[in-house]
Structure 1
Amino acid sequence: MDPRDVEYEPVSVKEVLAEMKDTAELLIDLSYSAVLNGSDEIAREVLELEGRMDILQLQGRMSLLMAARSPEDAEQLAPVLGVMGAAEKISNAAGDIAKIVLEDIGMPDAIRTALPEAVEVLVRAAVDEGSPYAGRTLLDVNMETETGVRVIAIRRESATGKRRWLMNPGPDSQLQPNDSLLLRGPRDGISAVYEAATGEPYEPAEAVEPPIEDLERAIDSITLMKDMSELAVDLAYGAVLFDSEGVAEEVKELEAEVDALQSRFEAWTLRAAGRVEDPVRLRGLVRLASATEVISDAALEISEGVLRGIDAHPVVAAAVEESDEVIVRLSVASDAQLAGTTLGERMVKTETGMRVIAVRRGESGEEWVVQPGPETELRGGDVIIAKGTRAGAERLSELVGDVQEFDE
């Protein structure tokens, strides 16, 4: 459907917001995957989903305008429009990244081996007919718990040749032969899952050393920008869900760090341009950095209402709760299994499939550890924010001694 043909019809704003959140997060992954693989096919799929996001935003805005009947309504609904606009901004940035591939703008080969060194590896794998995964559900396979690898999306082709994406598939999703899986997780886990799915060993791209030091620094900067921007989006939705000014402040700090990284990236790229054989090939790198910075800006817009002390409309929190991935806040009990251990020692991500994205220290209640690593210790009284499946959230809640139920 062309966005110009969209007419008003009653829709659930909560469902629109949830789909926009899931689509925006998938678009980030797909757009970077298109660059990593140099894939026109994935890039075109990004643009198709971007068109879908345009329609969702129009439908959501129309419904919100119809719901506003007083100045008080307008004041309460304004942050909802902001969240929708931010998701649309992420979508547009992903589209810009995809066009780097489709328009053959140019990209140094070194970037394709640098981006997989980010916090988690992102790969695409086709399910072979002889794969042990074929015909089984994700619950049966138990992939996340055993390997820490998550199936972000499944691309499936019907008998008529029509392709569609299943975003953030759940435990009942069945993997079929010829399904194309978008996988995300630690390198060791990715290696095992890729081989099980395809029947072939996982062979990461051979490292390409940047020809000059300034270009290497620029590529390192953009890799860090990508990690920080994705984390900022996760934290922003967490800030809205839990109405946490502390988390929103961390989003603000991350956005400022991404801005600073972009400034350094621009300086190093300009220096490198005078010393590489074909400086035009750096255009794609510049566009990638610009789009990545836009994603961090969008994250700040999502959390802006919390920073301004404006109560989030309940529909936003409900949409985050009902999206395919859950964001949870859990308190660590002093006698919990995880108290006094590091995330790496207990292999929390592998055991639960949950990614801990922030830890608030219990002593002061003000210190946040953002993007904790394997060496981060959990202590009694800490509060953690984590993202993943509902089943994983239940398992994690048991390990920290804050047992909750997360409805499927």
Structure 2
Amino acid sequence: MAERKEEEPRSVRELLTEMKNTSDWMMDLARASLLFENRELAERVRELEIRMDGLMFEIRTMAVLAARNVEEARQIAGILQIASAAEAISNSTEEMVDLVLRGMEIHPSVKGALLLSEEKIQQVEVMEGSPLLHKKLEELELPSRIGVRILALRRGKEWIIPPQPNTELKEGDLLVARGPEGGLSVFLRLSGTRRERVKREGKPTRLELWLAKMYDLSSMMVDLAYSSLLLTSRELAEEVRRMEERFDGLNYRMWLETLKTSRQEQDLERLNSLLQVVKCLEKISDAADTIADVVLRGEKLHPVFVEALSRADEQVARVRLEEGSPLQGKTLKQLNLETSVGVDVMVIERKRKYLFEPGPGKRLKAGDWLVVRGTYRALRKFEEMCRPEKKEVTAPGQEAPPAPAPASESRAS
């Protein structure tokens, strides 16, 4: 009988990359599970949480064996602090979906806030005649073309979570997609789906508006915290801490308003679901602050962690806008980068001043440093756009080739 080969141990970099990717997936899937009250998505989040526990155990074991001197011990302590924060994020998402798994009725404000938040989630069915049919996800390049990421795919009774790059779309596939409103609208048209865009009807309540801001703040805090590590930026880490203070203020108002609402609320169990979500978001924001704390304390991070972040599904880059770039002088609204390129501008650095969460009316100038988030392909595309436009030189008697179509006009298939 042949000897069974033991599975080769993985590196710390591989473990950290998987932890980052897994916690990102869990945050998105948890929100989709709450929005659609979907038990299958909730169960997948719970499975991923078990996986995160295993990854954390492996990292702790390797850390115990790795430190050979005080300097290495300090670097590894920073890695463990960040890994623990990622685990805290995953624990919080698991607590969110526990509401769905226990069959509790979700408070309308939870769903209303999800529909008001910046990142939208939509169910999309691939219909007969759609240009998406028989295309692999890697061929469609949805994240870098229209800013849409496929979180889950249901084919018949089977769920594929997460879908792989070589997953081929078939008629009847139900996709759970996340992205900007414009990108999702394009994706809906391409799919041929009969499903309407999920929208918030009527005037939003204060609870919905505040909770939507808490959703957005917690997500932004996590992104900026990881960015501060990758870019070794104290300024980004300090902004995470300022956001934490803003979040705490919203948290106080949410609890106070919820307690006032309880006087008229007949279903207290439903109201409890709202407070449970608020508590989970608070834990996520605390975890982001824990990550940023490593930078604020001036700890030198082990190079393996920076490499791990650079290999994550969603990455961060700091890109300089050069003189002559086609983006120069245009507003973020005009560029619509989330839909046309698949990148999100998180920070603009101009003359050593930082503008966090820039609004749509902000105009880009040559010399700006932009901290952007997106897939590897989207970031490379954006870097190219930040360079001066190349002028075609034509020989006498030859016609210049036609200019390429704008990114916003490129097809997603």
What TM bracket, shorter-length normalisation? 0.7 to 0.9
**Alignment equivalent of 1:191, drawn from 181, 185, 191:** 185
Q: Sort the Cα spacing of 1:95 and 1:194 in 2 relative to 1 into closer, same or farther, 3 A.
A: same
How far 1:166 sits from its partner (Å)?
2.8
After superposition, where does 1:123-138 map in structure 2 within 5 Å? 123-128=122-127, 130-138=129-137
Asked if the contact 2:109/2:207 (under 8 Å) is kept, the reply is no
Higher deviation after alignment, 342-351 or 136-145: 136-145
CA displacement at 1:134 relative to structure 2: 2.2
> Are the counterparts in 2 of residues 31 and 97 from structure 1 also a CA contact under 8 Å?
yes
- Aligned mates of 2:125, 2:97 — CA distance in 1: 21
Q: Give the match for residue 354 of structure 2.
A: 368
Which has the larger Rg?
2
C-alpha separation between the residues in 1 aligned to 2:318 and 2:8?
36
Contact 2:147 2:340 in 1 (8 A): no
What residue in structure 1 maps to residue 268 of structure 2? 279
User: What are the Cα deviations for residues 85-140 of structure 1, in whole angstroms up to 9, with x where unaligned?
Assistant: 01100000000110111123343224323311211211233434643212213354
Report what 2:46 is aligned to: 47
Alignment partner of 1:153 out of 151, 163, 184: 151
Q: Is 1:263 the counterpart of 2:262 in the alignment?
A: no
Asked if structure 2 preserves the Cα contact closer than 8 Å seen for 1:325 and 1:388, the reply is yes
- Displacement of 1:357 after TM fit? 1.3
SS in 2 for 1:280: helix
Correspondence for 1:316: 305
Distance in 2 separating the partners of 1:129 and 1:372:
40
State whether structure 2 residue 337 is matched by structure 1 residue 337: no
TM-fit CA distance, 1:157: 6.1
Contiguous gaps of at least 5 residues in structure 2:
1-5, 390-413
- 1:165 equivalent to 2:171? Answer no
Q: Name the counterpart of 2:232.
A: 243
1:285-308 deviations in whole A, cap 9, x for unaligned? 001001011111111111211110
Between the aligned partners of 1:41 and 1:141, the Cα distance in structure 2 is 26
Structure 1 contact 358–385 (Cα < 8 Å) conserved = yes
- The answer to whether the Cα contact below 8 Å between 2:321 and 2:387 also exists between their aligned partners in 1 is yes
Q: Which range moves more in the overlay, 59-68 or 23-32?
A: 59-68
Amino acid at match of 1:292: L
Alignment of 1:357 with 2:346, yes or no, is yes
* Number of the residue aligned with 2:370: 384
Is the 8 Å Cα contact of residues 24 and 88 (structure 1) preserved in structure 2?
yes
Q: Distance in 2 between matches of 1:145 and 1:15?
A: 24
RMSD: 2.5
Matched position secondary structure for 2:178: strand
Which stretch shows the higher mean deviation, 190-199 or 342-351? 190-199
Superposed CA deviations along residues 25-45 of structure 1, whole A, max 9, x for unmatched, are 110111111111011111111
Cα 1:314–1:179 shift into 2, 3 Å: farther
Cα distance in 2, alignment partners of residues 282 and 318 from structure 1: 43
Task: Give the superposition deviation at 1:331.
Answer: 1.1
| Aligned residue number for residue 285 of structure 2 | 296
The Cα of 1:399 is off from its aligned counterpart by: 1.9
Which residue in 2 is equivalent to 1:406? none
8 Å contact kept, 2:349–2:368: yes
Name which of structure 1's ranges 50-59 and 348-357 shifts more when overlaid on structure 2. Answer: 348-357
- The answer to whether the 8 A contact 2:230-2:309 is kept is yes
Does the aligned pair in 2 maintain the 1:218–1:266 contact within 8 Å? no
2:96, 2:276 within 8 Å by CA — same for their partners in 1?
yes
For the 8 Å contact 1:9–1:59, the answer to whether it is kept is no
Question: Is the contact made by 2:144 and 2:375 (CA closer than 8 Å) also made in structure 1?
Answer: no
8 Å CA contact 1:110–1:207 kept in 2: the answer is no
User: What is the DSSP-based 3-state SS (H/G/I as helix, E as strand, rest coil) of the residue aligned with 2:162?
Assistant: strand
Moved over 6 A (4+): none
SS at structure 2 position matched to 1:166: coil
- TM-score calculated relative to the size of structure 1: 0.87
Closer, same or farther in 2 for the Cα pair 1:127/1:64, shift >3 Å? farther
Shift of 1:264: 0.8
Distance of aligned partners of 1:217 and 1:315 in 2 relative to their CA distance in 1, 3 Å threshold:
same
Per-residue deviation, 1:228: 0.6
Q: TM-score, normalised by structure 2?
A: 0.86
CA contact (8 A) 1:128 1:197 kept: yes
